[in-house]
Amino acid sequence: MDATGVGLYHAEERQFPVGSLPSPQNLMDAVVGNESSSTHSLASTLVPGQAGVADMDSDTVDRSVSRCFGRLPRDMFAFLPSLPTPGNVLHLPLAIK
């Protein structure tokens, strides 16, 4: 299984040649799944010391991940599995409403 994750970088396009590997350099924010050994490697690179988001690597199409807690970058505790929200209301846990 391939690693699942998204990184948001602030850098010139030329700093990302085709085939380059993820790096913490110029990384603004990231979210990483937690299901496989390759994802563990990705998490240790992008969000060191944190586990990935549970169920992010799900094979079902009706799954997403939402930032529900906090606004600090690269904080995996801020994300929860959720339903996709385009065109829908984001339903946050009761604890933060």
pTM over 0.75, yes/no: no
56, 60, 63, 40: CA torsion to nearest 10: 0
Average pLDDT over the chain reads 79
pLDDT of 71 over the 70 cut:
yes
**How much is the average pLDDT of 74-97?**
72
Question: Looking at the domain assignment, is residue 32 inside a domain?
Answer: yes
Which residues form the domain of 45?
A: 27-85
Query: For 25-60, how does the pLDDT look when each residue is reduced to its tens digit (9 = 90+)?
Result: 999 999 888 766 655 688 888 989 888 886 655 555
Question: Looking at the domain assignment, is residue 46 inside a domain?
Answer: yes
| Amino acid occupying residue 38 | S
What total of structural domains would you count in the chain?
1
Q: Write phi, then psi, for 33 (nearest 5 degrees).
A: -75, 180
Question: Looking at the domain assignment, is residue 47 inside a domain?
Answer: yes
Question: Looking at the domain assignment, is residue 10 inside a domain?
Answer: no
pLDDT of 86 over the 60 cut:
yes
* Residue given tokens 């990231």 in the structure block: 30
Q: Check residue 97 and give its pLDDT.
A: 43
